[in-house]
Amino acid sequence: MRALEGRQISFTYPGGKPLLSQVNFSVKPGECVILRGPSGSGKTTLCHIAAGIIPRSISGDFQGEILLWGQELQGLSLAQVVQELGILMQNPDAQLFFPTVEDELAFGPENLCLPRGEIALRIAEALGAVEMSTYRLAEIETLSQGQKQRIALAAVLALRPRILILDEAFSQLDTASTAIVQGVLRRQKELGHAIFLVENGEEHLHLADRLYELRDGEVREVTL
C-alpha cells in the first residue's frame, strides 16, 4: 500500500490560470521522495493539497484525490489527518505560535486530549529527536532560525505522524541543524514512515529514493 498518494490532482487559484493539471504522485512506506521544480511551478501548492490544507483552508478549483494509507483524506477528520501527516514549511516563524518551546510542543498533543504523562513523554521524545532537550523551557524568540526549525519539526513529531511533508524546510538551516534534520529523516525512513521532500538543491538528493519534477503543471518522475 502507498503511504501517500495523489491521483489526478488539478488545481487553479481563484481568478488564476490552471496551476496543476492531472498530477499523480505517490510515496511508499519507508521511502523519501523529492519533488523539485522552478519557482512558482506550484510545489508549495501541491504540499498544501497533499496535507489537505487545500481545499480545507485555501480555496480554489480543486479536483482529484489524496489518499493516506489508502484512505481518502477528505473523509478524515482534522484530528485524524494531523496524526497521520505532518507538514514542515520553509519559514519556521510561520509555524510557531507560542512563547515557549514546551507550550509549542504541548499544543498538538493537548488538542488530541492525550493524558498528561503521555504528553510529557512525547515532548521529551520529540525534543530528543531534534537534539533540543535542554531547550524545553526556552523562549522561542531567543532561538536561532535553525533551532526554530528544529522545534517546528519536533512539534510535528510529537503527533507521531507516519507521513512527513517538508517544503524547502532546509533553506534556513545551518550545517549543524541540517545534519540533525537529515538524521531525523533517516530514522523516520527506518521506521517505515514516508517522506515527501520539496527541495531543489543537489545536496539533499542523497536522501531520495525517487525524484519527481514539477513543470508546466505536470509532475514527471525523473531517474535519479
Ligand X SMILES: Nc1ncnc2c1ncn2[C@@H]1O[C@H](COP(=O)(O)OP(=O)(O)OP(=O)(O)O)[C@@H](O)[C@H]1O
Residues that bind ligand X (CB under 6 A): 13, 16, 19, 37, 39-45, 58
Give the burial string for 151-168 (b: 16+ CB within 10 Å, else e): bbbbbbbbbbbbbbbbbb
Q: Which does 37 bind (CB under 5 to 8 A by kind): ligand X, Mg ion, none?
A: ligand X
Q: Which does 58 bind (CB under 5 to 8 A by kind): ligand X, Mg ion, none?
A: ligand X
Q: Phi and psi for 3 in degrees, rounded to 5? A: -75, -45
What pairing do the DSSP bridges indicate for beta strands 71-72 and 61-68?
antiparallel
Helix or strand or coil: residue 192?
Answer: coil
Q: Which stretch binds Mg ion (CB under 5 A): 23-31, 37-45, 103-111, 153-161?
A: 37-45
- Contact call for residue 200 and Mg ion (CB under 5 A): no
| Closest separation in Å from C-beta 33 to ligand X | 16
| Closest separation in Å from C-beta 195 to Mg ion | 17
- Contact call for residue 91 and Mg ion (CB under 5 A): no
Nearest residue (CB) to Mg ion, 12 versus 44? 44
| Closest separation in Å from C-beta 167 to ligand X | 7
| Closest separation in Å from C-beta 71 to ligand X | 25
- Contact call for residue 44 and Mg ion (CB under 5 A): yes
Q: In the complex, which residue's CB is closest to Mg ion?
A: 44
Helix or strand or coil: residue 49?
Answer: helix
61: left (phi over 0), alpha (psi -120 to 50) or beta: beta
Helices (H), the chain: 43-50, 53-56, 78-84, 101-111, 116-129, 145-157, 175-190
Binding residues vs Mg ion (CB under 5 A): 43-44
